[in-house]
Amino acid sequence: MGVAQLVAGFTIPASSPVLAVGQAAIDLTPQPVKDFAISAFGADDKNVLLGGILVVLAVFAALIGTLAVRRLRAGLAGLGVFACVGLAAALSRPDANAEWVVPTLAGAAAGAFAMVRLTRAAAAMTGRPAAPPADPDAPAPVFTLLPNPDAPPPSDRKPGGQERRRFLVASGLAVATTAIGTVGGRELAERYNVAKARAALRFPAPAVPAPPLPPGADLRIPGLSSFITQNDKFYRVDTALLLPEVDPATWQLRIHGMVRREVRLTFGQLLKRPLIEDYVTLTCVSDPVSGPYVGNAKWLGASLAALIRSAGPLAGADQLLCTSVDGFTCGTPLQVVLDGRDALLAVAMNGTALPIAHGFPARMVVPGLYGYVSATKWVTDIEVTTFAAASAYWAVRGWAQQAPIKTESRIDVPGSGASVPAGRTQVAGVAWAQHKGVAAVEVRADGGPWQQARLAAVPDIDTWRQWVWKWDASPGSHTLEARATDATGYTQTAVQDQPVPNGASGYPSVSVTVRG
């Protein structure tokens, strides 16, 4: 594994067997398991996956190492299983080529060499010969930890210090190779780091600046989500185990498919287009009721609608199949992009270049649609097509092809399980109905009558909206619920629904204890 990591650092970091197997696991994991991982581990789900893979590898390695001591060919066969899994995972990646198999093959060769040397050194140290090769005509023995009855008797010669030193040296070299390969591979992978290029970027003034924030847009209540979500606190949900490092000097966007003319755009050309600045709230479809996967930011980017129109979409086209540099695909309704909202090919977030984790150097931002059908990060390809002709990554896995964001709300203050003093208590939260606008929020205690909350000001209809309600809290245990109504007159439903296939629904609620 250390050698494979090192070779991947010299070639393609994502071709590391561990990363390739991890990406394949993400693709093949059943949806209920993915939902559990997201809900249980949140932003740490990828670290848990990689940790689990390494634990499985360690256990399997221990088993085949033990087997190799008894019968070397059987241990090498187990190592071959390692290699086959790694090769299959690497070749399953959308952008894989022949170079992707090199790290796994190199790692397997290093593993075979280490296995042979270590088993021989162990046999010499213990005073017994290495396990003989299996007779190809004999039936394969059942794996057992008992001594092999067919093996020659142990030597009467007791092992000396020289054999022990040889074993320790061989073991030490194996450990050192692992450490050097792992650390060296990581360092080599970081040569692709684009942090300096990101920090050096300077953006022209927007042709259309964001509207000024009206007074009272942020109620500044402790515990309430701020109107602007800081970049380092903005939720991240994607399928990338290794963040793509895309140099803006080499980035290109291709727009093709059902168009009159193909368009290719460099990053420099993108920055020369009129840039639009706007506040837009993004929401992930996997966000449960009262969940954390929603955030608001000020985005800067070029008009996506203008870019698509420059290619001249043909009649009948209804989908933009957008592809990330790592092969992830996203299906965006064409008509939504062209209907006049500020759909952006964004290059900046909250006044700085996009963070690498959020799509640097360019990503899509489309108000009113869940992220899995609108917010392609590290986007490099847009195919104008139809929903009938092509299905994107999540649509193939059972999610809706078109996914407008549902009108929702969340209670931030007080938190569930909180203890508050009796008397006037602030109940506060956020509500969102992107590209419709939040018109009202109501709150109730213990299933009683709905009470109107006070709404914070907002710059436009594409952002979430803070709200607060003054509650006369009496001692005891209470349940608080909220619901939002958007500008179309639709009120958030009480029907509890899971995120699959088009977003969760239901009233958010918190249980609190009021002290007398």
pLDDT in tens, 396-439: 999 999 899 999 999 999 999 999 999 999 999 999 999 999 99
Contact yes or no for 226/350 (Cβ under 8 A): no
- Same domain assignment for residues 135 and 156: yes
Instruction: Please write the tens of the pLDDT for every residue from 331-385.
Output: 999 999 999 999 999 999 999 999 999 999 999 999 999 999 999 999 999 999 9
User: Does a structural domain hold residue 226?
Assistant: no
Has this prediction a pTM greater than 0.85? no
Instruction: Please write the tens of the pLDDT for every residue from 284-293.
Output: 999 999 999 9
Which of 354, 370, 396 is at the close of a domain?
A: 396
User: Does a structural domain hold residue 301?
Assistant: yes
Q: Residue 150: pLDDT band by 50, 70, 90 thresholds?
A: very low
User: Does a structural domain hold residue 63?
Assistant: yes
- Same domain assignment for residues 323 and 427: no
Q: Residue 278: pLDDT band by 50, 70, 90 thresholds?
A: very high
Specify the CATH number for the domain of residue 321: 3.90.420.10
**Cα gap 276→299, rounded to integer Å:** 8
pLDDT of residue 53: 84
Q: Which two tokens stand for residue 420?
A: 């508050």
Percent over 90 (pLDDT), the chain: 69
Q: Between these two residues, 127 and 84, which has the higher pLDDT value? A: 84
- Same domain assignment for residues 188 and 244: no
- Same domain assignment for residues 47 and 86: yes
pLDDT of residue 145: 42
Specify the CATH number for the domain of residue 429: 2.60.40.650
Q: Between these two residues, 484 and 82, which has the higher pLDDT value? A: 484
Please check the confidence at residue 325 and state whether its pLDDT lies above 50.
yes
- Same domain assignment for residues 492 and 388: no
User: Does a structural domain hold residue 31?
Assistant: yes
pLDDT of residue 23: 87
User: Does a structural domain hold residue 200?
Assistant: no
Contact yes or no for 355/349 (Cβ under 8 A): yes
Residue (of 302, 289, 336) closest to 207 by Cα position: 302
Highest mean pLDDT: which of 8-12, 123-127, 304-308?
Answer: 304-308
Instruction: Please write the tens of the pLDDT for every residue from 311-320.
Output: 999 999 999 9
> How is the chain split among helix, strand and coil, in percent rounded to 5?
35, 25, 40
pLDDT of residue 448: 97
Please check the confidence at residue 190 and state whether its pLDDT lies above 80.
no
Instruction: Please write the tens of the pLDDT for every residue from 464-496.
Output: 999 999 999 999 999 999 999 999 999 999 999
Please check the confidence at residue 202 and state whether its pLDDT lies above 80.
yes
- Same domain assignment for residues 165 and 43: yes
Instruction: Please write the tens of the pLDDT for every residue from 225-250.
Output: 999 999 999 999 999 988 999 999 99
- Same domain assignment for residues 359 and 498: no
Based on its alpha-carbon atoms, the radius of gyration of the chain, rounded to whole angstroms, reads: 29
User: Does a structural domain hold residue 460?
Assistant: yes
Among 27-41, 126-140, 374-388, 405-419, the range scoring the smallest mean pLDDT is 126-140
pLDDT of residue 133: 52
Contact yes or no for 3/231 (Cβ under 8 A): no
- Same domain assignment for residues 380 and 422: no
- Same domain assignment for residues 297 and 176: no
**434-447 average pLDDT score:** 97
Please check the confidence at residue 132 and state whether its pLDDT lies above 60.
no
Contact yes or no for 467/454 (Cβ under 8 A): yes
User: Does a structural domain hold residue 454?
Assistant: yes
- Same domain assignment for residues 388 and 415: no
User: Does a structural domain hold residue 185?
Assistant: yes
> Which residue's structure tokens are 């992930």?
284
- Same domain assignment for residues 45 and 172: yes
- Same domain assignment for residues 241 and 390: yes
Number of domains the chain contains: 3
Mean pLDDT of the chain: 90
Note down the domain range covering 116.
2-192
